Amino acid sequence: MKQTSAIVLAAGLGKRMNSGLPKPLHCICGRAMILHVLDALLPLELEKVVVVVGHGSRRVIEEVSSLSDSRLKLEFVEQHTPQGTGDAVKVALTCFADAYDSNARDSDILILPGDAPLILPSTLEGLLRMHKEHLSVATLLSMVISDPTGYGRIIRDKHGSVSKIVEEKDASEEEKLLDEVGTSVYVFRQSALAPALRILSPKNAQNEYYLTDVIEVLRNVGYEILAVKAADGREVAGVNDRLQLALAENELRRRINAKHMLNGVTMTDPDHVYIDKTVEIERDVTLLPGVILKGDTYVSSDSVLGPFVKLENCRLGKRTLIEFSSLKDVKLEDDAVVSFEGGFHI
């Protein structure tokens, strides 16, 4: 089976975030957005992961290097001038010494954006499995969405095969009516990707090199393009502004709470319990409304937290009872009781 590597595109300016913080570092449930993407890659056992950085590159590299899982074989490359996703991938291929060597061992490259924090490992595994089973040159992840505004439209021929992707700014009024869109997640055979990138042109509405155009380039030379539809569009939706950031956090929080409840944690009102991804909770813990658990917090069994408790970087012993309190960097032994009811007015 071909070896597989990944490229994560995280060089965008993120203008719509309206922030001085680099877009990949905006936090969702206690971790930077890009770290959630990298977490999804870990089970794939990739040969290496190349992260393309741009705006705020030094800060992104420092945080990702220090907080990502050490088992990921990370490399960083900078796109100094933002010229589109096609150019970003071309820059990333400089980390592959054999990218343009026709005699080198062939491999597959998974490409995905750094602003899709809800992507699941199972979805990426399914995409790779389809790609490898069909010996495909290019396989893309698509989704059907009721409001496709802002997304590139998937264009299929009369036989239903993918022929190209058209970015919204370049789409005709008829093409804009299509509801199957690209998710910016692809798998390419390296030997086909590299020469296709050389053919790209910036003659489009944004004067950029679109990675989406690689699909049409490969189709025009006779390759069949596969498309796998995502089961849940929320999973592959990008985060481009603060509203989308909040929606992504809400969905991830729902997943986190569901996981804890299935593992034996009681929540009397899950909609009002906020738990970072980094928090660990033993079974038979009860969380009442208004609980916020952040950072490196550990809650031992048979504890009851809430109402209205905020903990950050705390370690709690068994049978701890805390209500109406905010604690940071605190360690409590078994059977501790903490309450500060007078500090809250409801």
Question: Annotated catalytic sites, by residue?
Answer: 16
Tokens of 221: 């030379």
Count other C-beta atoms under 10 Å from residue 342's C-beta: 7
Select from 228, 271, 240 the least CA-distant residue to 110. 228
53 beta partners = 10, 78
Q: CA nearest 93: which of 135, 39, 48, 56?
A: 48
Cα angle 122-125-128, degrees, rounded to a multiple of 5: 155
- Helix axes of 33-41 and 121-133: crossing angle, nearest 10 degrees: 50
Provide the 3-class DSSP secondary structure of residue 344.
coil
β-pair partners for 280: 298
Which residue blocks in the chain are alpha helix, DSSP H?
A: 33-41, 57-67, 85-92, 121-133, 190-199, 213-220, 233-236, 242-262
